[in-house]
Structure 1
Amino acid sequence: MPKTRAPKASRFKSAAAKPTQGLPDRETLLKYIREAGETDKAEIAKAFGLKGADRKALREMLKELQEAGDLGRRGRRGLAQAGALPPVGVVDVIEKDNDGDLMVRLTKGDDTALVRLAPGRSDPAGAAPGVGDRLLVRFETLENGETEARLIKKLGASVHKILGVIRKSNREVRVEPVDRKSKESLILTDPKAQELRDGDLVLAQVGTSEERYGPKRGKLLEVVGREDQPRAASLIAIYSHGIPTGFPAAAEAEAEAAQPPTLTGREDLRQVPLVTIDPPDARDHDDAVYAEPDDDAGNKGGWIVWVAIADVAAYVRPGSSLDVTAREKANSVYFPDRVEPMLPERLSAGLCSLREGENRACIAVRMVFDKSGRKKGHRFVRGLMRSAAKLSYEQAQAAVDGEPDDVTGPILAPILEPLWAAYRCMLQGRLARSPLAIESAERRILINPEGEITAITPRAALEAHKLIEEMMVQANVCAAETLEAKKTPLIYRIHDTPSQEKVQSLAEFLATLDIPWNKGEAPRTDRFNKLLAETREGPNADIINEVVLRSQMQAIYSTENIGHFGLNLARYAHFTSPIRRYADLIVHRGLIRALGLGDDGLSDQDISQMKSTAEQITLAERRAMAAERDATDRYVAAFLADRVGATFAGRITGVTRFGLFIRLAETGADGLVPISKLGGEFFIHDDRSHALVGERSGARWPLGMQVEVKLVEATPITGGLLFEMVSEPAPRDPNAARPRIGAIRRAPGSFDAKRKGGPPKGVRKGKRR
């Protein structure tokens, strides 16, 4: 059999006619590279017949396209359209997902996404691939639009890195991965590994192993900490997810050189008693609000609402080191014990934070609402403000509820009561718009100065939260409307309508609860809200809320507007948090440019790379969310580690073929009951009813069922919780078809009594080799 080789760039070239000779324009060049699949500078120059000065110009064009995010590197010299995958390519196995499937990435393509390796395929010449292996695969697009990789051949081990904890014995030094989805451990044979201590957190590179079975060998790269140090959970999350940390010296120097703002080029808003309302432990304050009745005779009962946002654009100029670093980070990442900020502390907690009683640069929007809560108009100003008070949500809410303190007492009548009156007016407009009313239970982890968890409590949902949320939403709408009207490019926050597949899945689940849902009717927020309202007081309220949430698409950043389904808005952009989100900074620059508010607005380079910026900050947001979730899980596991053996009330929040996910009522912690812990019966995963069903008895473990579980294992280093079921399953559904006994459990190749003889169906005879 001939050897299978990784394809070269020339094999991907289109059979199209030879391109027109001479230096191409941007679109022609991108079209050529897109059709070539993968190429390099020399191939491009040859294709267009370029020599001398034209070759130099080509290099500049390619450099600009890479900086704009339109081109991606493929090795040292190769180029391809950013994110593009070839028909055949070499990949590294990066990780396993929640279902145990392997995820791969193109070896020469850091800009490409993770792709699922088609299950059930192994190299005929060896064992099945695992994390750390390098493979030759064929990329195929499925009917649903997703891409999967199909194995052609294993090529050896990759240079994949893992974060793990050292486990020493008399004979070996082993690295156990901190990722609970990973089953790959490494053996360190480097002499320096003997100096490591049990419990050290290390970064190691996956090597090769001469042994076919057993752990792979690895190389020690870095010692990053200790598993028993108080803040290990967030440290692990930062390293595991590649969260950028710290700032280059140039960025720090730019931040230190920043000066307090003056009135030059600004409107004086210091007499407007704006206040900040944030969590009690907030270190940065990037928004302030104020409201007053509209004295316009033509708008009786109407309100004027001011939202002022920190003017980060005044300090983070396009192309500066601060700007480059902020774009790379894309957002601040918040852990229970620390923050990894997008901007240096000098700005994030200093000059850009709207501190009480200090002059601060801001971009503010003055919005006018009628008595029905409909926005009549707005205008943006670049101003100088001074916060009249720094309040927490709880503090402001208590004051309005009749329990003011020394801070809120003097400002209750002139500031807080008008704010609440304006919000209740705006609430009429919100209710008429009917955005999604999904409720999400958030956990608050309380940590003492020593880094120990003192409590895990549900985060209260106050009217003060909703007030700030609605005022921020309206300010964001104003930003999008203004930039659209001025025809200025912007990054939208978009949220697509639920897919037909998700709606179908929701309808099938609701049918198991005898709740009708017309699958043919287009999804609308008011339909979802009606469902949530009708079931809110019933026994299935929590799980219906959960399933409706899962039926929604994920919001992303994009230069193309499709509206925001969840908020039921035609146009929406993030404007209100530029200290912690790069998207908001781009919108601020757009407003400065569109409204002629200064010379530090949106640059031509910002515009040229806006599409790639939107994609990058979307990925960074997902990365931050995953890191924050993982750190929280590890802290919760540490909190529960000394309660192993205790029983807890919970609810089934996930049903998979390998077990049940349980959410504890007390802490909101999530853990797994493996299918092996459900008793001796074999359970089948019914994905339509979201239940595990007993093969013989028909007993069911459905999604949403309230159960009691015993904690059998809590692993802080991975954040994993394992439970054992204490409750009994629900009885058989009399309307469900009884599964065939043994249909799932029968081993491959086992004898079928209904067949007269010969090999099992679908297996052909062949000569023994």
Structure 2
Amino acid sequence: MAKPPTRRRSKTERFERPSSDSPLSAALPSRDELARFIREAGQTDVSAIASRFGLKGSDRRDLRVLLKSMQADGGLGRRGRRGLAEAGATPPVGVADVVERDADGELFVRLANAGEDAPLVRLAPDAAEKAAGAPGLGDRVLVRFVATEAGETEARLIKRLGQSAHKVLGVVRKARKETRVEAVDRKSKEVMLLTGEDAEKVREGDLVVAQPGSGRPEHRYGPKPGRLLEIIGREDQPRAASLIAIHSHGIPTGFPEAAEEESERARPPTLAGREDLRDLPLITIDPADARDHDDAVYSHPDEDPANAGGFVVWVAIADVAAYVRPSSSLDRAAWGKGNSVYFPDRVEPMLPERLSAGLCSLVQGEDRACFAVQMQFDRTGRKVRHRFTRGLMRSAAKLSYEQAQAAIDGEPDDQTDPLLEPILRPLWAAYAAMKAGREARSPLEIESEERRIRLNAEGEVVSIEKRAGLQAHKLIEEMMIQANVCAAESLEQKKTPLIYRIHDAPSKEKLFALGDFLSTVGIRWSKGEAATTRRFNDLLRQTRGGPHAQIVNEVVLRSQMQAVYSPDNIGHFGLNLDRYAHFTSPIRRYADLVVHRALIRALKLGQDGLSDAELPRLTETAEHITACERRAMAAERDANDRYVASFLSEHEGATFEGRITGVTRFGLFVRLEDTGADGLVPVSSLGGEYFVHDERTHALVGERSGKRWRLGTRVQVKLLEATPVTGGLLLEMLSEADPADPTAPRPKLGVRGRSTRPVPGRGRKR
């Protein structure tokens, strides 16, 4: 009798759960044993399970049936194509997408390639954020999933997997019936192609956020398909530079509704629990365009006979801790931002305007809550003692640095004339004593030039000016430094944990590299001697006014480490201080708010001090706010570059004086004298020979001629191209290279650098 044909089961039938009486191998582990193994593994697959329980042949087939049954029951979930995990479980480490932001501004992630029903997990910033940057909606991230004390799971950021790979901020270009999105990041070559409705929604010059779409490129090497996420503005808008910086660096904007409501409920301060300081003529001295005023100063001669010739100096700071309480919506928003971010045309504040420009700003003539420190200095500038108090103050005057300096220099105006004798001269007399103490301490004295970008009412750049280095700046700086020192000293004395501002000494590698360079310009530097600020200052004084002053200043600056926040103290090398904490700017820095709370707790000055819940998180907070500071600095720098490029785009073809501030194997970076802008001279445009990058001497050396382009050399360049959307400047060198130095050894290929073949007519945009 013929055997009936075997019917091939459908996909649905093959995946159905077997009935309870299905004959499965007795060698299989129980469901509980399987569930326990998968739970402990976090993520596994059929092969790993079979290997663990020694299953082969038909037993492996039965294992697959049992696992399918557990999936159908809801006990197991899929992880990728072959992976298995406990249902609802997260792996120790995984790739996830940022898919949601709640009312408090917190981000939530979902495992990549998981279904819509996969759980959302709160994203908590981690130590690696200082390298990864802050993620935003639509970003793809690598995270570590950890269990909290509350029994919940949170995601800790390991790495943001690149905006260019998953989300791109770009400008729309329409040509040849194509709509492209070109990344505004100078370092990215990302290009996406928009089609259909997305292409119809955008215009030439729109600034958009896009991400890779589905489908394949029309041509093998053409742009990848893209999907439009958001139109954020226009490249020709005067204020586009800061808009691009905000989006490309993930600067948090605005505030959750709950935080805004908390700020609106804030009320003016009263004297309850405060010392009345309204009779002290404290004044604010800030930039003329300052958007907030968080510090005020006052000084008078010390009347204590034991401190003859000494001074009493008051520094009063806005009492932000009175309004921003731990674990509140305001606090979570401020922590997330880390600091205010300042652009030429706008500010993205750490606190809502109701506080930052209102109740927490030391407005002239208004009662304000303050946290003040009273310091006594002897005639040599040595601090004798200090005390902290929470007070109620009323600013006697709001002055600009220029106003205060002009008054001291003999040109008071109507506002400063009555303040000159009772307030300004005592301040300058106290600073004279404090300056003597500063000179004895010998902090690092590296010269730097700051520039201010002035905009008109339409947001267009009208000028770029050097900021004058006034004595008024140094006076306020030194008084703030001393207040910060007092904060650290008081907290250490009370054995209260705090967040220090620390700055490590240069590494041995950097000191050796500095010594190598100095030997090439005939300056002696002992490599084995310990780094001290006095050594660096002696070097800077030795070269000041000479031909190598600028380059030595630049190389010394590059040899320094970056300052960071940390609960572990190593001192502050640049300021030459054993202990230092930020106390003086709580409106714009979360670090200062933490220090205020720590002082309130340590000195028993109220119930709104550092909470028990904050103490275990100080390391996380320090790492987070360091990352936020880096993010803000990068965004501010990029915005300034774009504003300057916009200003210079009207001067293409013009000639500028400048100085070489960077030497790389692909070209020279030149800083223009008038604007401080940095542009690139591609190595391919320097001449008809190979150039070798000599890292030791910071120079490009002609392989045949030996001619040198050295760091710090003054040069003349022509501006070929300024690109506002990227902030890039392309320059042409007009000056001649330095002649070959017969005493200098030629760098070897592959050791100090590599030769680069010139390509006529081609350059690289920065």
TM-score (norm 2): 0.79
SS in 2 for 1:362: strand
Q: CA deviation at 1:739?
A: 5.4
SS in 2 for 1:605: coil
Q: CA deviation at 1:82?
A: 8.0
Moved more, 76-85 or 717-726: 76-85
Q: CA deviation at 1:195?
A: 2.6
Moved over 4 A (4+): 8-11, 39-47, 72-85, 91-95, 107-116, 739-747
**Counterpart for residue 566 of structure 1:** 574
Matched, 1:679 2:687: yes
Q: CA deviation at 1:608?
A: 2.2
Q: Which amino acid aligns with 1:671?
A: G
**Counterpart for residue 635 of structure 1:** 643
Question: Does the Cα contact within 8 Å between 2:494 and 2:602 map onto a contact in 1?
Answer: yes
**Counterpart for residue 203 of structure 2:** 197
SS in 1 for 2:613: helix
Q: Percent identity?
A: 66
**Counterpart for residue 122 of structure 1:** none
Question: Does the Cα contact within 8 Å between 2:133 and 2:631 map onto a contact in 1?
Answer: no
State the distance in 1 between where 2:303 and 2:556 align.
43
- Inter-CA distance 458–259: structure 2 relative to 1 (3 Å threshold): same
Question: Does the Cα contact within 8 Å between 1:307 and 1:475 map onto a contact in 2?
Answer: yes
Matched, 1:645 2:653: yes
- Inter-CA distance 589–730: structure 2 relative to 1 (3 Å threshold): same
SS in 2 for 1:280: coil
What do residues 121-151 of structure 1 show as CA deviations (whole Å, max 9, x unaligned)? Answer: xxxxxxxxxx778xxxxxxxxxxxxxxxxxx
SS in 2 for 1:288: strand
State the distance in 2 between where 1:561 and 1:73 align.
38
Question: Does the Cα contact within 8 Å between 1:695 and 1:741 map onto a contact in 2?
Answer: no
What do residues 88-141 of structure 1 show as CA deviations (whole Å, max 9, x unaligned)? Answer: xxx99999xxxxxxxx9736787445599xxxxxxxxxxxxxx778xxxxxxxx
Q: Which amino acid aligns with 2:513?
A: S
Question: Does the Cα contact within 8 Å between 1:73 and 1:108 map onto a contact in 2?
Answer: no
SS in 1 for 2:402: helix
Q: Which amino acid aligns with 2:477?
A: E
Question: Does the Cα contact within 8 Å between 1:166 and 1:174 map onto a contact in 2?
Answer: yes
Q: CA deviation at 1:214?
A: 2.2
Question: Does the Cα contact within 8 Å between 1:696 and 1:741 map onto a contact in 2?
Answer: no
Select the residue among 218, 222, 240 that pairs with 2:248: 240
- The structure with the larger Rg is 2
Q: Which amino acid aligns with 2:142?
A: L
Select the residue among 142, 149, 172 that pairs with 1:166: 172
Q: CA deviation at 1:170?
A: 3.5
Select the residue among 338, 341, 344 that pairs with 2:349: 341
Q: CA deviation at 1:680?
A: 1.5
**Counterpart for residue 754 of structure 1:** none
Q: CA deviation at 1:230?
A: 1.2
Q: Which amino acid aligns with 2:433?
A: C
Question: Does the Cα contact within 8 Å between 2:340 and 2:588 map onto a contact in 1?
Answer: yes
- Inter-CA distance 674–291: structure 2 relative to 1 (3 Å threshold): same
**Counterpart for residue 457 of structure 1:** 465
Select the residue among 512, 515, 536 that pairs with 2:544: 536
Moved more, 184-193 or 732-741: 732-741
Q: CA deviation at 1:206?
A: 2.6
Matched, 1:715 2:715: no
**Counterpart for residue 586 of structure 1:** 594
**Counterpart for residue 495 of structure 1:** 503
Q: Which amino acid aligns with 2:206?
A: D
- Inter-CA distance 84–710: structure 2 relative to 1 (3 Å threshold): closer
SS in 1 for 2:594: helix
- Inter-CA distance 92–234: structure 2 relative to 1 (3 Å threshold): closer
Question: Does the Cα contact within 8 Å between 1:40 and 1:78 map onto a contact in 2?
Answer: no
**Counterpart for residue 432 of structure 2:** 424
State the distance in 1 between where 2:354 and 2:748 align.
67
Select the residue among 622, 630, 648 that pairs with 2:630: 622
State the distance in 2 between where 1:358 and 1:92 align.
43
Select the residue among 479, 504, 507 that pairs with 1:471: 479
**Counterpart for residue 764 of structure 1:** none
SS in 2 for 1:356: coil
State the distance in 1 between where 2:167 and 2:488 align.
42
Superposed counterparts of 1:58-207, under 5 Å: 106=142, 111-112=156-157, 158=165, 160-207=166-213
Select the residue among 212, 226, 237 that pairs with 1:218: 226
- Inter-CA distance 77–196: structure 2 relative to 1 (3 Å threshold): closer
Q: Which amino acid aligns with 1:592?
A: I
SS in 1 for 2:384: strand
State the distance in 2 between where 1:384 and 1:575 align.
18
SS in 1 for 2:555: helix
Q: CA deviation at 1:740?
A: 6.7
- Inter-CA distance 217–42: structure 2 relative to 1 (3 Å threshold): closer
Q: Which amino acid aligns with 2:501?
A: R
State the distance in 1 between where 2:750 and 2:86 align.
60
Matched, 1:692 2:728: no
What do residues 609-650 of structure 1 show as CA deviations (whole Å, max 9, x unaligned)? Answer: 111111110000000000000000000000000110011000
Question: Does the Cα contact within 8 Å between 2:505 and 2:573 map onto a contact in 1?
Answer: yes
State the distance in 2 between where 1:46 and 1:408 align.
65
Q: Which amino acid aligns with 2:621?
A: T
Q: CA deviation at 1:667?
A: 0.8
Q: CA deviation at 1:745?
A: 5.6
- Inter-CA distance 485–40: structure 2 relative to 1 (3 Å threshold): farther
Superposed counterparts of 1:209-288, under 5 Å: 209-210=216-217, 211-288=219-296
**Counterpart for residue 527 of structure 1:** 535
Computed over aligned residues only, the root mean square deviation of the Cα atoms, in angstroms, reads 3.2
Question: Does the Cα contact within 8 Å between 2:691 and 2:756 map onto a contact in 1?
Answer: no
Q: Which amino acid aligns with 1:206?
A: P
| Consecutive unaligned residues in structure 2, runs of 5 or more | 1-40, 49-83, 93-103, 113-118, 146-154, 758-766
State the distance in 2 between where 1:93 and 1:404 align.
47
**Counterpart for residue 763 of structure 2:** none
Q: CA deviation at 1:738?
A: 3.6
- Inter-CA distance 741–524: structure 2 relative to 1 (3 Å threshold): closer
Q: Which amino acid aligns with 2:360?
A: C
Question: Does the Cα contact within 8 Å between 2:43 and 2:85 map onto a contact in 1?
Answer: no
Q: CA deviation at 1:45?
A: 13
- Inter-CA distance 689–746: structure 2 relative to 1 (3 Å threshold): closer
Q: CA deviation at 1:74?
A: 7.6
**Counterpart for residue 300 of structure 2:** 292
